[in-house]
Amino acid sequence: MKNTQKGAQMLIEHQHPDNKSIMVAVLGAPNVGKSSLVNYLLGMDLSVVTNKAQTTRNKIHCVFTVDRTEIVLVDTPGLHKTNQELNKRLNEQAREGVDGADLNLLLVDLTRPVLGQLEDFKENMESDKFAKTWVLFTKCDRVENYKELPLSLVMDKMQELMPEIEKGIVISTKDGTNMHNLTGLLVDEAAPGPHYYGDGSVSNKNERFFATEYIREQAFELLNAELPYELAVVIDEYKDMKPKRGETETKVKSHISASILVNRPSQRAIVVGSKGGMIKEIGTRSRKKIEAMVGGQVHLNLHVKVSPKWFKNNNILEELGLPRAKNSNRVWRSR
């Protein structure tokens, strides 16, 4: 997906001799605040955020620049113990996220026991080798007197468990604690070289991908309990209509038909809601977000389909960008 700056000028700019870049994997357990961090640094709501665990299902490159430094954040699904096929593939996405990263940001939630989160991370990552890692202690706005916590002792223990850990930073994306500081540290850490994304892209994923994400995000927000985890969104049709003569670019209409897949017929009834109220609300909310992304009007058609055990179906998982085998879709060059 691209930002609005002119392509040719940007291609020249990305070759500038003063350019620097860094690839940063954003890792941690479900719900620790990975996507919130990415969106904060990006300055836009690109990655989906909900209060439910396991919202992010794909590794997503999110790109921003500070002066001549390009920072590529790789948002990843939360790592967790699992035997289920879908969850195994989510873990695989996170493992691929560290592949080729110059730096890992390992997020641990200050409102939960922190050492346990690190132990789980090491176990679920199934690797003994990591790039340089910084621990980000998240959600400090929710911890009274966090400054009095014995974090240097915790850091010593963490470094014993994982020697790649170089430093720890307390942050909050709610009140901005240390976010400016973190950006500066990332810029300092970047190495001289051309930008990975010189064409103005803000992500390696396209608008079609984010359309499914925003529909799923709204469904996650609006539906209760366990249902969201048995739900997926696939696009059936995505058509950009050219503006008619006299119409401005901003009036461009996209026609999107998408299906919300559920596992059982009873779930279909919940997603449709009484008199279609729930699906209508999911549609209205996600359409607004997609319109903000594409900068034009969107006509969104949503259907709910029962697709039993879709989360074990290889074809559907592949369509959702979750291949079985280790299969990196990196677009950057190695240094």
Ligand X SMILES: Nc1nc2c(ncn2[C@@H]2O[C@H](COP(=O)(O)OP(=O)(O)OP(=O)(O)O)[C@@H](O)[C@H]2O)c(=O)[nH]1
Give the annotated binding-site residues: 28-35, 75-79, 138-141
Binding-site annotation: residue ranges for GTP: 28-35, 75-79, 138-141
Footprint (CB under 6 A) of ligand X, residues 2-31: 28, 30-31
Span from 43-51, 95-103, 149-157, 280-288 in contact with ligand X (CB under 6 A): 43-51
How near is the Cβ of 92 to ligand X at its closest, in Å? 14
Footprint (CB under 6 A) of ligand X, residues 259-278: none
Measure CA of the first residue to CA of the last residue in the chain; give whole Å. 24
Closer CB to ligand X, 32 or 260, in the complex: 32
How near is the Cβ of 40 to ligand X at its closest, in Å? 8
**Residues near ligand X (CB under 6 A), total:** 24
Span from 33-41, 154-162, 284-292, 320-328 in contact with ligand X (CB under 6 A): 33-41
Q: Does 172 bind ligand X (CB under 6 A)?
A: yes
Closer CB to ligand X, 46 or 317, in the complex: 46
Q: Which of 323, 307, 139 is nearest to 230 (CA)?
A: 307
Q: Does 53 bind ligand X (CB under 6 A)?
A: yes
CB 166 within 8 A of CB 133: yes
Q: How are beta strands 60-66 and 69-75 bridged, if at all? A: antiparallel
**Which of 87, 133, 173, 203 is close enough to bind ligand X by CB under 6 A?**
173
**Which of 45, 99, 120, 141 is close enough to bind ligand X by CB under 6 A?**
141
Closer CB to ligand X, 23 or 37, in the complex: 37
Closer CB to ligand X, 28 or 283, in the complex: 28
Q: From residue 58 to residue 97, what is the string marking binding to ligand X with x (rule CB under 6 A)?
A: -------------------xx-------------------
**Which of 1, 42, 49, 294 is close enough to bind ligand X by CB under 6 A?**
49
CB 158 within 8 A of CB 168: yes
**Which of 21, 22, 46, 55 is close enough to bind ligand X by CB under 6 A?**
55
Closer CB to ligand X, 116 or 276, in the complex: 116
What span, in angstroms and rounded, lies between the C-alpha atoms of 210 and 206? 7
Span from 137-145, 243-251, 257-265, 284-292 in contact with ligand X (CB under 6 A): 137-145
Span from 117-125, 139-147, 156-164, 300-308 in contact with ligand X (CB under 6 A): 139-147
Interacting residues with ligand X (CB under 6 A): 28, 30-36, 49-51, 53-56, 77-78, 138-139, 141-142, 172-174
